[in-house]
Structure 1
Amino acid sequence: MSAMNASLHQLPVKMLGDLISPRALERILQDAAAERGTTPERMDVRTLESILKREVFKRLQLSVPATLAKRRVSEVLEELSQVTQERLPANDAALDELEEQARRFALYFDWPETQRLRGLLGVARQEQEGGQDTAALVQEGQDLIAQMDRRLQEGLVVQAQDLAELRAVFTRVQGLGGREVRRLDTLIGQIDEAQTQSTLLPGEVDRARTLTYNLRKQLESSVVEGLGSGARSAEGAQAQARVLELEREHARQALDTAEREFAPLLLVRPDLREQLVALRGGGEQQPLTAQVVEGWCETLRAVLAEVLSEQRAALAALESDLSGHPAGAGVRVSLDAARHLLDGGTLASDELRALSTARGALQASPDGAALSGEAGLHAGRELLEIERTARDLPGAAAAELAPLLSEAQAALSNGQALDLDPLWAVLERHMGVAAQEREGFDARADGIVAEYDAVRGLAGETTQRLGRLADTLRAQRRLGPMSAAARARYAQTLTDAETLLAEAQAEYRAAQEVTATFGDDALSGLLGVFELDAAELPAEVWTFQGCMLLSGPYDKSTVPLTNLMTVAEDMGVTEVTMHSARHRWEAQQDAEGLWRVTRTQR
């Protein structure tokens, strides 16, 4: 049996795991292979293709529409035809390759997957030196790499969106000058370089956000200071309202950052999760501020220190209890992973739960007659996989499975063997619903991007923001199976983009209506508005109403001009004069809010 054939059946399990549970899919493959007189490990490519087209396709249609099932099976068949052209490496070479892939994620040492992979590689090398088969460990390592790659890709999509927003803000505040502006420019450059290299820099993004918040507040303050006494009251109130909105936005971002930073703690402490929900929905009675968020973070840090201490004590007890029994590879991997996580200040909740299950199985059946420690550990990790998958699904999957998981966990702790098929069946039903929801999301994203292409020529802040969201939607559209956080961001991006698209389309129609009224005397009419003679016609003229380009050439200068007019309006400025090496620029705003920008040769 070749290594290639032995791993072929894992491909559909990986690629279809978001539509049907891996356990159910493996059983389908086993039964179908048995009917053909073989096993999943020994079947050839043609046999697997036949099973995919028949049994697997038929089973998928029970949970998702036939069109979706057909498309996903076709993707597996296409991938199968590609991978079978290359021989998969043998175990030793595969382990070397796994170590090479793991280096991509060395920076993310606080990820649980990273530490488990670290422990797994150490145990795999020990098993290899002892002449043991490492195929199962290599397979788990490849699964961990896939999980980390998904997490990385989702993070890069978020970072790209953050980078685009930071650049947009920078164009508005760079005129302020000073050390903070230069620091922001440097951070944006660092984040841009990291994005190019597919590397996450969350710390730099957070620092850049803080700088943009401070600079935007400074800009709004300069607006108030630059107002005359007559306009100070109304314009000052508007500027103050914008400052308050900036503060609320900054507080929301700080809360989002805290949620990501303390996510493992929030999973094991429902009371803290309830506090998070309360903070998000505080309303006018309990407004969310940066000070409130920082105070809550201090509480979280104190609780985290307590839980870390408790988990270190729990790990020591588990090591002591398990030391009297032969430790299989799975137990050793979990012990190493838990130790690395806790040493790094990260909770090891999942590893400790799995180890606790193994200990319960051993204590209930010391001779392994009912359930061995290694089997108990495997079953415990399968329960964790069900729980994690349920958390990533929309709807009530996690709530529906919670009592079933509790019962299964209690049974395992008593050393009882379990049939987890009913839990996987519940999970599968929700996976089918999630797959259809994702299809709907992708269709909406495609529609928004197509509609944006029709209005992208319209200058203005609305179109620029829509363009940034369209870029984000394209990236989100390319993601594979999503975590709960990524799915929520996808939904929010769609909602925001649809709102902006409606605004952009309204502006586009208004611009068309305005330009449709222009006749042969349109230019002289516009000049009359500004009381200029035709003899004073400049080389180039742009007219803007708000963020809409009413007339003039649309070239590389148009978007910067729109940004300039927006900043000028924010500052209460109605006239702007600029000089470049070859041109003189003049901009004036009339009483109706219409901007006229001229560019003449110097």
Structure 2
Amino acid sequence: MRLLSDLMSPRALERVIQDAAQARGLPVAGLDRPALEDILKREVFKRLQLSVPAPLAKKRVSEVLAELLLADQAGAAARSAPAGGPDAAEAARAEAARVVSQLEEGLRRFALYFDWPETQRLRGVLGIARQQQQDGQAPAPLLQEGQDLLGALERRLQEELVIQAQDLAELRATFARVQGLGSRDVRRVEGLINQIAEAQDQQVLLPAEVDRARTLAFKLRRSLESSVVQPGGGAAALPADAQARVQALEQEHVARRLSDLGNEYALLFELRPDLAQNHEKLRETHAAGTLRSESAEAWQVTLAEARRGALEQQRNELAELDGRFENVQDSPAAQDARLRLEVARSILAGDGLITAELRELSTTLTALNSSPETMDHLLEQQRELAELERAARDVPGAQAELSADLAAARSALVLGQVPDLGPLWRVLERHMGRAAQQREDFDARADHVVEQYDRVRTLAGETTQSLGRLAETLRAQRRLGPMSPQARTRYAQTLEGAEALLIEARAEYEAAQQVTSTFGEDALSGLLGLFDLGGDADAPELAPATGSSEDAPARRDQADSGLPHGAWTVTAGEITDGPAEEGAAKVASLLAQAAAAGLHRLDMGDASHVWSARLGQSGDWRLARAADWDTLDREAGAWLDG
């Protein structure tokens, strides 16, 4: 029933199946596939419609029915296998050994990510499971938790690989812009990009290398945007648009830093609400555009120090709990609690915070010290509350709404009281339904963006290139299974950015189409990557620009003008600076009519070159040409933008 886990809580599903089985006069264990199918189609489908639209509920029920059929076929094959195998106890030990081996292999795979909470907990769980296995015990609950942790690790790895792929694409785009600087940092960025690309191919994360590459790329971009040189080599004051670009670069860098810190120190923020509030204030300052990168770096140092202090405090708390458990009378429940205490100790030894574990151990200790009549009930409620809290963390909006009620339930358990968790489960399920519908909407929006991008992708230019990178990220996010809240937030951000760029790309595409209809398909097909400015004798004539050659401004040769290689200035459809070339003259004629159509930027391509033009405030165009976009950006990008 895992296919329903994001729509309906396990407790609610269990109750629905129990009630349905009782209504049919059957025990739950006696339900066969036809009976389960009937319950799914009736009671479960009806229950799902309380939180999600009927089409989504029907889709998920159909998926579960298909899985039931496969499971029934597999069971039939197993029953038809020859008998005479080991007895049940031996089979259980063999299965436990197999699972332990599987967990060990999984832990080795994720050993690189030793600072992930899931990895730290898996290491602790596996260590205790090995010990129990050696003592001849069957660690079934621990093994199940280990398998759940492996699933969580796999999900996180896939989500992080999507982020790394997006970072890699952005780093490559930035490298193309700064490659011409030729400094030592540029070579370092290139080396890091190669390392990251190789790791991405192998499904391995290199967060430290990505962080270094992003920091270096940011500094290089800032340096490039800040260096404005006038024709002839003279230095100029930084124009307003260049200042805006530098500011935007810094704010983008700071935003990513704050986002990374929020994810890295999420457990610390749960323990220290004051730090969470300070982090939110920094985000608000960033939103106002006044937060510098140095402030974000200083905040990172503060958080690291706070985390060290929190770890020391939790070591003391765990030692105190350990001493209190020594006075608890031995029982199966006490033994289980001591196992979980050992898991917490292992996590803490790996510098992982154990806030939730300490809370659960404390309430467990209260239950163990209660009367025999209430102990079992309190322990069951404590386990259910822990399950509820874990589930709420994975559902957007649920933890925020339930935080006060969860705290009240924990306080009740500490006092030996039994809280009613039913209303809390219903709140969680409502959020689960909303989250499932939101995911459906996100996927539909992603499909739309990708489809629309495919229609405008032939239009050359920075907007389309940026949209292409986001479209590729959306494809990867679309393929992800159940998402963490962090991944869902990134999905929403990618969609917002891609949809905004899609609006710009459509406007550019429509403008290109408008100019094409004015000048003819052949004359302006370069806007769509098809324009041939190679001087073919059969090329169509462009409409002449207004004004005669006698009225045209005097043109200077490129050697005398201080222009970049392959660059021209154009006024009123005539070249004023730069070498005399037929292809450039045709584009110059085109620019006069493009300005009349309201265009201020053109990016084009012919059979052998790419072209880019910018309209200045004075009405003059800056035009540049190169063999490819990277070369053009390197040799003339700063001049075009200046």
Normalising TM by the smaller chain, what interval?
0.7 to 0.9
Q: One-letter code of the match for 1:209?
A: R
**Is 1:304 equivalent to 2:310 in the alignment?**
no
Counterpart for residue 167 of structure 1:
172
Kindly indicate whether the alpha-carbon contact (under 8 Å) linking 1:541 and 1:552 is maintained by their aligned counterparts in 2: no
Equivalent of 2:290, from 279, 283, 287?
287
**Is 1:179 equivalent to 2:155 in the alignment?**
no
Counterpart for residue 371 of structure 1:
375
Counterpart for residue 242 of structure 2:
239
CA distance in 2, matches of 1:187, 1:291: 23
In the superposition, the TM-score normalised over structure 2's length comes to 0.77
**Offset at residue 220 of structure 1 (A):** 1.8
**Is 1:67 equivalent to 2:55 in the alignment?**
yes
**Worse-matched range after superposition: 21-30 or 31-40:** 31-40
CA distance in 2, matches of 1:588, 1:525: 28
Provide Cα deviations, 1:21-47, integer angstroms capped at 9, x if missing partner: 111112223333455565555644444
SS at match of 2:114: coil
Counterpart for residue 466 of structure 1:
467
Equivalent of 1:357, from 353, 359, 363?
363
Provide Cα deviations, 1:112-133, integer angstroms capped at 9, x if missing partner: 2222222222332333344434
**Offset at residue 339 of structure 1 (A):** 1.9
Aligned positions of 1:381-420 closer than 5 A: 381-395=383-397, 397-420=398-421
Counterpart for residue 7 of structure 1:
none
CA distance in 2, matches of 1:456, 1:322: 65
Q: 1:218 to 1:78 in 2, by over 3 A?
A: same
CA distance in 2, matches of 1:117, 1:516: 64
Counterpart for residue 87 of structure 2:
none
**Offset at residue 452 of structure 1 (A):** 1.2
In the superposition, the TM-score normalised over structure 1's length comes to 0.82
Counterpart for residue 212 of structure 2:
207
**Worse-matched range after superposition: 127-136 or 86-95:** 86-95
Counterpart for residue 597 of structure 1:
none
Provide Cα deviations, 1:541-574, integer angstroms capped at 9, x if missing partner: 9889766455635xxx77xx36x879xxxxx995
**Offset at residue 467 of structure 1 (A):** 1.0
CA distance in 2, matches of 1:289, 1:101: 41
CA distance in 2, matches of 1:579, 1:147: 47
SS at match of 2:482: coil
Counterpart for residue 519 of structure 2:
518
Counterpart for residue 507 of structure 2:
506
Q: 1:363 to 1:62 in 2, by over 3 A?
A: same
Q: 1:23 to 1:501 in 2, by over 3 A?
A: same
Q: One-letter code of the match for 2:351?
A: G
**Is 1:24 equivalent to 2:12 in the alignment?**
yes
Aligned positions of 1:474-493 closer than 5 A: 474-493=475-494
**Is 1:248 equivalent to 2:302 in the alignment?**
no
**Offset at residue 377 of structure 1 (A):** 6.0
SS at match of 1:370: helix
Counterpart for residue 195 of structure 1:
200
Q: One-letter code of the match for 1:524?
A: E
**Worse-matched range after superposition: 270-279 or 471-480:** 471-480
CA RMSD of aligned residues (A): 3.7
CA distance in 1, matches of 2:174, 2:156: 27
Counterpart for residue 158 of structure 1:
163
CA distance in 2, matches of 1:272, 1:517: 60
CA distance in 2, matches of 1:579, 1:492: 35
Kindly indicate whether the alpha-carbon contact (under 8 Å) linking 2:133 and 2:139 is maintained by their aligned counterparts in 1: yes
CA distance in 2, matches of 1:245, 1:461: 16
Q: One-letter code of the match for 2:13?
A: L
CA distance in 2, matches of 1:388, 1:487: 17
Kindly indicate whether the alpha-carbon contact (under 8 Å) linking 2:613 and 2:623 is maintained by their aligned counterparts in 1: no
Kindly indicate whether the alpha-carbon contact (under 8 Å) linking 1:213 and 1:246 is maintained by their aligned counterparts in 2: yes
Kindly indicate whether the alpha-carbon contact (under 8 Å) linking 2:463 and 2:501 is maintained by their aligned counterparts in 1: yes
**Is 1:112 equivalent to 2:117 in the alignment?**
yes
CA distance in 1, matches of 2:442, 2:627: 48
Q: 1:165 to 1:579 in 2, by over 3 A?
A: closer
**Offset at residue 459 of structure 1 (A):** 0.7
**Offset at residue 503 of structure 1 (A):** 0.5
**Worse-matched range after superposition: 398-407 or 263-272:** 398-407
**Offset at residue 429 of structure 1 (A):** 1.4
Q: Which runs of 5+ in 2 are unaligned?
A: 79-93, 524-539, 546-572, 592-598, 615-619
**Worse-matched range after superposition: 276-285 or 200-209:** 276-285
CA distance in 2, matches of 1:588, 1:174: 10
**Offset at residue 354 of structure 1 (A):** 1.1
Q: One-letter code of the match for 1:322?
A: F
Bigger Rg, which one: 2
SS at match of 2:375: coil
CA distance in 2, matches of 1:370, 1:531: 92
**Is 1:278 equivalent to 2:278 in the alignment?**
no
CA distance in 1, matches of 2:382, 2:275: 25
CA distance in 2, matches of 1:146, 1:285: 39
Q: 1:31 to 1:96 in 2, by over 3 A?
A: farther
Provide Cα deviations, 1:284-311, integer angstroms capped at 9, x if missing partner: 9882112212222232223222211110
**Is 1:96 equivalent to 2:96 in the alignment?**
no
Identity %: 53
Q: 1:536 to 1:148 in 2, by over 3 A?
A: closer
**Offset at residue 428 of structure 1 (A):** 0.8
Q: One-letter code of the match for 1:148?
A: L
Provide Cα deviations, 1:62-121, integer angstroms capped at 9, x if missing partner: 211110001111222333344555569944423333333333322222222222222222
Kindly indicate whether the alpha-carbon contact (under 8 Å) linking 1:459 and 1:547 is maintained by their aligned counterparts in 2: no
Kindly indicate whether the alpha-carbon contact (under 8 Å) linking 2:285 and 2:291 is maintained by their aligned counterparts in 1: yes
Q: 1:293 to 1:519 in 2, by over 3 A?
A: closer
Q: 1:112 to 1:538 in 2, by over 3 A?
A: closer
Kindly indicate whether the alpha-carbon contact (under 8 Å) linking 2:613 and 2:624 is maintained by their aligned counterparts in 1: no
SS at match of 1:477: helix
Kindly indicate whether the alpha-carbon contact (under 8 Å) linking 1:476 and 1:490 is maintained by their aligned counterparts in 2: yes
**Offset at residue 186 of structure 1 (A):** 1.6
Equivalent of 2:264, from 261, 266, 278?
261
Q: 1:69 to 1:284 in 2, by over 3 A?
A: closer
